[in-house]
A and B are shown apart, each in its own frame.
Chain A
Amino acid sequence: MGHDSNHTPAHYIRIWGVLCVLLVISILGPELEIQVVTLITAFGIAFVKAYLVIKHFMHFNTEKPIIWYMMITGFALMVVFVAGTAPDVHNHDGARWSNTASKAWIEQQMIAGEAGAEHHGGDHAADGDHAEGDDHAHDEGAKGADHGEAAGH
């Protein structure tokens, strides 16, 4: 039932160590604030970690192929789902259509969010420079921003 060396506690602890190191890298990566680096460290590493757990903890490579086919089918179906849905949900503009409600919401929230962020930074003078509707939007954003100021993390 598989190689004995792959079933020893020492082996599992080694894999666990690798997983923890990968976790640290994935947390530090975004600190560099380069988007590509964030993508690779946060998500790329997620795939690597998942692969390690699947291969070493779940012993996938010694399982019968049927198991592998079953699981890959599940993932493949998710890809199909996203492929069919994203053109409507991810996009807000398409061939001869436009999701004005979502676009209006996003714009309103971006204004409020930026106002909140500047408020967070303590720059009150900038408040008056925002576009129309900002009082209402600012209030909504301020609710989050005030709490955000207090929370930090």
Chain B
Amino acid sequence: MSEAVDAHSDAHGHDGHDHHHHEPTFTEKYIFPLDHKYIAMQYLLTGMAMALFGGFFAYAFRMQLAWPGSDIPFFGHMSPAEYNAAVTNHGTIMIFWVAMPVLIAAFGNFLIPLMVGADDMVFPRLNRLSYQIFLLSAIVLIASLFVPGGGFGGAWTAYPPLSAEQTYNLTPAGSTMWLIAVALEFVAFLIGGINFIVTAMNARAPGMTWKDVPMVVWMICIASILFMASVGPLIAGAVMLLFDQTMGTGFFDANRGGDPILWQHLFWFFGHPEVYVVLLPATGMVAEVITVFSRKKLFGYRLILLTAVGTGVLSFFVWAHHQFVAGIDPRMANVFTITTVLISIPIAEMMFLYIGTLYGGSIRFTTPMLWALGFIFAFLIGGVTGIPLGASGTDIYFHDSYFVVAHFHFTFFPIAFMGTFTGLTFWFPKMFGRMMNETLGKIHFAGTFISFHGIFLPLFLLGFAGQHRRIYDYTHFPELALSGLQDIRVMATISLLTLLAFQVIFVFNFFYSMFKGEKAGRNPWKSNTLEWITPSPPGHGNFEGNFPTVYRGPYEYSVPGRDEDYWPQNEPT
């Protein structure tokens, strides 16, 4: 599989052929694949393409913020409505069309069957269908940007009445298409999630008990369960909002017997578990990498698993911390403050367990390891800055300020990008049979890591200064138009430009190494887990007909008395 995997499918909804015993044609292999590895690539490439859109919007609106009113190269003049649409679609795309497809669908599809010792997902045709629906949702979203009126500009949270009434949002077609795109994406992940969960639960190799499963597999499985259990009320709400938009109903209109705050509850009941849906797979990948590159067992496997499950459960009890100043009952605000502050504890403890894993290890600073360490560092900052937001008293000041923006980027960016780079640089040899260039990888890491901090650390300062979110030109406000604050905005934008420039190095490294990288053997990192016993890349059926039996856990590194410092799961005792 060293040819370019051009897996963009234009046709959707086709059920395709049954899987015959003949050699698959080009169309069957790359356009309508049933093999989980190819479907993973489709999700990965689509997610990367959508990241270009999401990143472009960030570029455009940050240029507007740094130099308000100027012509933005490759964009032109940005109107307030375009600013709102850029901010809205940046957030929506990054969460639903970058973080979720890459972290869950791409890595889940690629890794789960390999790591549990199976030949494919349990339902390959359903797997293919879930990608097709996902692709359709991406197309609908991109199309929503080009319809008359422009793209939806009511924030990714889509609160009514702004999102419901076209007299307010001025984007009737864009709003409806945005909503339909999100709904389709939900359906795609509901269907896809069933595959991940059932494969992890049922299709494990003989001898693989629940505590022998690699952490990343459990994390993706738990994330899928969280998604499945939380998205239902929002799907109900999305149908209601769709009817409000198109059929004149008044579900969220208090002047007609509805209630706008119902939407907020329906949204955030999903919205909060959603952040753990994307967090857990990233932490799973970090767990895989830090064990391999410190040659040490995972410190507290069962505790980490319990933490993940406990956090997942607790995540259903915290949602209204997003609504502290929306007009919810103050007595409920007290309840949600307590639960929110509580939920910071398990994830912090998980990070400490990771540090415990590193402690005393034989550390190798490869590119994946640098990304994993960077994740732990940046995510800890993100988590800590969430605490003043989770406590209702301080949130009254910080809500809707740039403090929130800085907080969630200090969590989301490590999750979506540092986690992704951790996984991509680590599993690239398995996916493509070649090694990525280490020097370029390290340069990319340093440039990205530093400029990321250059963008978002200053934003905390802007939050302290009281700068509100979702304003396209701060020079309109005398107290925010101070030159010191505008300098901060310019600095953040320049850091973003730097960040974007460094991504060119990654893209070059990724595609160049696919063809010209040093050939990788089966197990270049000397890892224990089952995917590393397959050829690089694995062929159809993965294990060449010899399905492994498992004899031990996935993290038996540096076991005393052995010649090697690793002990693959499938090696008999």
Contact = CB atoms under 8 A, between A and B. Distances in A.
Does a CB–CB distance below 8 Å link A and B in the complex? yes
Interface of A: 73-74, 77, 80-81, 84-85, 87-89, 91, 94-97, 99, 101-102, 105-106, 109
Cβ-closest 7 pairs across A and B: A101-B254, A94-B329, A85-B265, A87-B329, A95-B330, A88-B261, A102-B254
Contacts of A85: 262, 265-266, 269
Nearest to B261: A88
Given A84-B265, A84-B320, A88-B265, A102 B259 contact: yes
Contacts of B265: 81, 84-85, 88-89
Contact of A97 (B259, B262, B327): B327
B329 A105 contact: no
Interface string B313-329: 00011011000000111
Contacts of A105: 254-257
Given A89-B262, A105-B255, 5 more contacts: A74-B229, A84-B320, A88-B261, A89-B259, A101-B254
Nearest to A84: B320
A73 B316 CA distance: 11
28 contacts: A74-B229, A77-B230, A81-B233, A81-B265, A81-B269, A84-B269, A84-B317, A84-B320, A84-B336, A85-B262, A87-B328, A87-B329, A87-B331, A87-B332, A88-B259, A88-B262, A88-B265, A88-B327, A88-B329, A89-B259, A89-B265, A99-B259, A101-B254, A102-B257, A105-B256, A105-B257, A106-B257, A109-B257
A85 B320 CA distance: 9
A84 B230 CA distance: 14
B343 to A, nearest CB: 14
Contacts of A94: 329-331
B164 to A, nearest CB: 15
Interface of B: 229-230, 233, 254-257, 259, 261-262, 265-266, 269, 316-317, 319-320, 327-332, 336
A88 B316 CA distance: 17
A81 B265 CA distance: 8
B257 A88 contact: no
Contacts, number: 61
Contact of A77 (B261, B266, B316): B316
A72 to B, nearest CB: 12
A77 B332 contact: no
Contact of A99 (B230, B254, B316, B320): B254
A96 B530 CA distance: 59
Nearest to B260: A101
Contacts of B229: 73-74, 77
Contacts of A77: 229-230, 316
A114 to B, nearest CB: 16
B255 A101 contact: yes
Contacts of A91: 329
B241 to A, nearest CB: 15
A95 B331 contact: yes
Contacts of A80: 316-317
B240 to A, nearest CB: 13
A81 B229 CA distance: 12
B329 A97 contact: yes
Contacts of A89: 259, 261-262, 265
A88 B254 contact: no
Nearest to A66: B201
A87 to B, nearest CB: 4
Contacts of B320: 84
Nearest to A80: B316
Contacts of B330: 94-97
A141 B233 CA distance: 32
Contacts of B256: 105
A82 to B, nearest CB: 10
A52 B544 CA distance: 49
Nearest to B318: A84
Contacts of B328: 87-88
Contacts of B262: 85, 88-89
A38 to B, nearest CB: 23
Contacts of B230: 77
Nearest to A97: B327
A73 B567 CA distance: 38
A84 B268 CA distance: 11
Nearest to B269: A81
Nearest to A101: B254
Contact of B319 (A84, A87, A97): A84
A95 B332 CA distance: 10
Contacts of A102: 254, 257, 259
Nearest to B265: A85
A29 B317 CA distance: 37
Contacts of A95: 329-331
A77 to B, nearest CB: 6
A104 to B, nearest CB: 8
B332 A88 contact: yes
Contacts of B255: 101, 105
Nearest to A106: B257
A88 B320 CA distance: 11
Contacts of B259: 88-89, 99, 102
A74 B331 CA distance: 26
A91 B332 CA distance: 13
Contacts of A74: 229
A144 B329 CA distance: 34
B232 to A, nearest CB: 8
A87 B332 CA distance: 8
A6 to B, nearest CB: 26
A102 B261 CA distance: 12
A65 B330 CA distance: 39
A94 B261 CA distance: 14
B74 to A, nearest CB: 44
A133 to B, nearest CB: 15
